[in-house]
Structure 1
């Protein structure tokens, strides 16, 4: 992957962490005020899952580990297997803050990430203890900082990953339209491999003459977390780097539901 591609993916990863960290913090504070409001677990699970998928794409292992065990806690709480007590909120909020610090550290490189390794280890251990019902004592270093990210727009507005079909596919797609239209055909399974193919295509072909970017999901039967992360990242990339309109058409009813529930598209 080129340095430009790496920079783009890391920017999208950081945007993903920004938006979902704010959602997680707000949801946790809401749950702390009203422990009976279990409806927030679903959105917190999706946010942790999205951060995990975005981190996996850019190979930020620390964020993958923290987000993964956070997601496990939220899943267990939603299932009634874990009771989040008032004393647990500090740990969870500090874990969200740690994700933001990891995100910021990616701007400085591996050395900055290594400085957070002890905090990450302690955080994962404490969250694992929470999930398993064991007490957690030592706080994660660094105080919780006030959220500085912009308002959450949607899961769709932040995330990450694209790929690599042939020029003939493009020319056929563009020829069908009066105005320049980039049609990107997704595979039957939109996973990490297919997302990388599409990411490369989007980076290579998006230019100022394109008036529309269309993701063709007519053949897509399933999308994993990395695929969803890519679609959200692609939407953000198109919005920030062109004036093109973006759509997800054609798409089956099942996939349309998945996109809507995950926040990629609006209801």
Structure 2
């Protein structure tokens, strides 16, 4: 049996297990991640954040001194980017005294991202550009197929628009169907968006490799990008209401910024089963 020290945190109830592995000496297998994220037998979480120096990450060719967010979905698969996870990651670095400044850069599989730990307790993270595909997508759920907008925020998204009653009644216990297949070769996150006002939306999301989550940072950015495109691409700040809370997405100068809470709620040790 193996012991693993961990912290547990969440950003708008999108929750993560955090593991400090500064020098990359304790890699976790997909099986390990699935066990730790299992809410019945492990710690429980929508994903796992391994805190590692970028110098020890295979394929990273940027600044080796940065902290790297090695993010895994709850099913053990790698993910390129996670906006809520990035805020939780930054909060962990702050509480563990692993950073000295309030404005930092964190490395991710989607590139380096700037993070600002604000004095009001909220954390603002640069999400990079949100790129909308010219190819129309589709989403199928509850026996109905809807047109969707394909958006890339460092990871793939399919955004579809629904009314309020439909949003509330969606059954997202299983993954929606998406198409065309060549547009999403590695699967995709799916956002269902109800427009409340010109800069105000409500949404739910089914995350690739996880299931429905209470919030999804990249999903919120993708949803806002799709809405903003319908509004004439004027940019500005949008209020985004998800089951886990209310956050802000701001578009401008080709970049998206996500602002919201992040808290560390527990620390401890978990016993991992022996590897087969």
Q: TM-score, normalised by structure 2?
A: 0.26
| Higher share of residues assigned helix | 1
Question: Which structure has the larger Rg over C-alpha atoms?
Answer: 1
| Higher share of residues assigned strand | 2
Q: TM-score, normalised by structure 1?
A: 0.27
